[in-house]
Amino acid sequence: MIKTLFTGSVSACFELENNSAYSCENEYTVKLDGETLFSSDTNVFSLFGLKPDREYTVGVSDFGEIRFRTMPETCAVNVRDFGAAGDGVTDDTQSIQTALNCLPPGGRLCFPEGVYLTAPLTLKSHITLDISENAVLLGCTDTARYPVIPGTAPDAVTGEDVHFGAWEGNAVPMHQSLVFAEYAEDISIVGRGTIDGNAQNSEWWINVKERRIARPRLIFFNRCKNITIHGITAQNSASWQLHPYFSQDLRFLDIAVNAPKDSPNTDALDPEACDKVEIIGCRFSVGDDCIAIKSGKIELGKKFRQPADHHTIRNCLMQNGHGAVTLGSEMAGGVKNLTVERCIFRRTDRGLRIKTRRGRGKYAVIDGVTFENIRMDGVMTPIVMNMWYNCCDPDRYSEYNTTREKLPVDDRTPYLGKFTFRNMKCLNCHVAACYCDGLPEMPIDEITVENIDFTYDPDAKEGVPAMKNNAVKMRKAGMYFDNVRKLTVRNVSVDGCDGEELEAHNVGELIKE
């Protein structure tokens, strides 16, 4: 069966429904109105260069066919008609921004083949950027060309804070991102082209901890809604690549996000305090987390109480980064209703990575998380739930955050609820199969692990399964659980571990079948 994920004015995205992760068992052929276009084997595929407001029939061998209609548009204009050179040398910022400013609602700005050197660009509502194959939006390397956006500014009448900039869960000043929108809606960025932050040729990756103002993201959306990013390649951002912030109704479809493995803080996609997010058919290979779902640090969590809610991650390929799917550590507003299915993780440090700690607060609730039909290969530790995360905060080494004694539950205490992991194959693990460490005063409520096979790399590397104080290095360890209220382990094999296959400490109820 073929499922339509998105139809724009000139592009469309489809998903094949089956039981395989990321790719079909066999290659298939795609036809459009009876004409053969290409062959592929991925579960998600896309069409580009379509005509607006027109009906089509797409057929896939062995999966049937489906009719769809592209969306109408008011106009389509070429960025070169506004003076953009696209030669990779000329500064095209003014030409591109002028074209964006002039574009009417429902309009599409086309980037034909070429390299468009630009400083930050500001988008507005009801437009489409169409970046064609072999077209590149290339960030300029002069850091002074990236304006500083304040974290907040007071309303001139009421004095209330209006939020603009952010970094790692706090409303703080930041450099404007290369592609930028705030308080906007109905924006699409489509095509097989590339948005390249060009950070590898600038100073953004040098002495990053000494910077007073947060580095720019590649794409940043603040309090926006109905956003679609389809088909493009995003790469080499100064920091996080894609950062939607307090936004809703977001679709990331059939995109690729790349950065060198040693590049600092180059997370692929970090939706923060967002509602209704779809990440489907994407490919990530970066220097930090592939996907990091967040909801702000303590002050934002208290003020807005806005959880990351209704996120779906499906048919994606995650490679290299620190975590394939990470929750936190900035999760003071909570994370709920997350489904990750039919994905492949390769050579990431961790598969699922939950990072929280004392102090994140009573609204820091993670609940309703399901991982299903996942394939991992070469992942250091496939499942990590860590309530002792020790990075980034000034009090990381304090007695409050290091003592293993049971402390009183108060407004600073986070909560981890129900988690289900089923139908997974985790091959060539290194450090441990599973490492889940709750708080003595607030155990992880319920973990179900079923129908999972773990095997180990014969040349497994030693490492720490979770970033916490007093972490102990492991190699070929089995499943480790500490401070869990209810644990169910059903039809799980741990083949080749050194030591116990299952260690359960301070587990209230253990069901093993």
Selecting among 196, 267, 288, 289, the annotated active-site residue is 288
The CA–CA distances, whole Å, from 352 to 10, 22, 368, 385, 465 equal 36, 17, 14, 8, 12
The first and second tokens of residue 346, run together, are: 């390769």
| 20 vs 374: CA distance, rounded Å | 9
Q: What angle do CA 147, 152, 156 make, to 5 degrees?
A: 105
The CA–CA distances, whole Å, from 34 to 21, 55, 57, 190 equal 28, 13, 8, 24
The residue whose two tokens read 């990091």 is 292
| 283 vs 10: CA distance, rounded Å | 22
**How many CB atoms lie under 10 A from the CB of residue 184?**
21
The residue whose two tokens read 């660009």 is 121
- Count Cβ neighbours within 10 Å for each residue of 270-284 and write b for 16 or more, e otherwise: bbbbbbbbbbbbbbb
Bridge partners (DSSP) listed for residue 346: 319, 377
From 488, 492, 491, 458, select the one nearest 478 (Cα to Cα). 492
| 352 vs 317: CA distance, rounded Å | 14
The CA–CA distances, whole Å, from 111 to 7, 65, 81, 96, 141 equal 20, 31, 10, 10, 21
Taking a C-beta distance cutoff of 8 angstroms, is the pair 88, 117 a contact?
Answer: yes
Selecting among 322, 349, 437, 482, the annotated active-site residue is 322
The CA–CA distances, whole Å, from 310 to 220, 274, 339, 440 equal 20, 9, 8, 29
Cα dihedral angle (58, 61, 63, 65), rounded to 10 degrees? 20
Q: Is 505 a catalytic residue?
A: no
| 230 vs 8: CA distance, rounded Å | 10
Q: Is 430 a catalytic residue?
A: no
**Residues designated as active site:** 288, 322
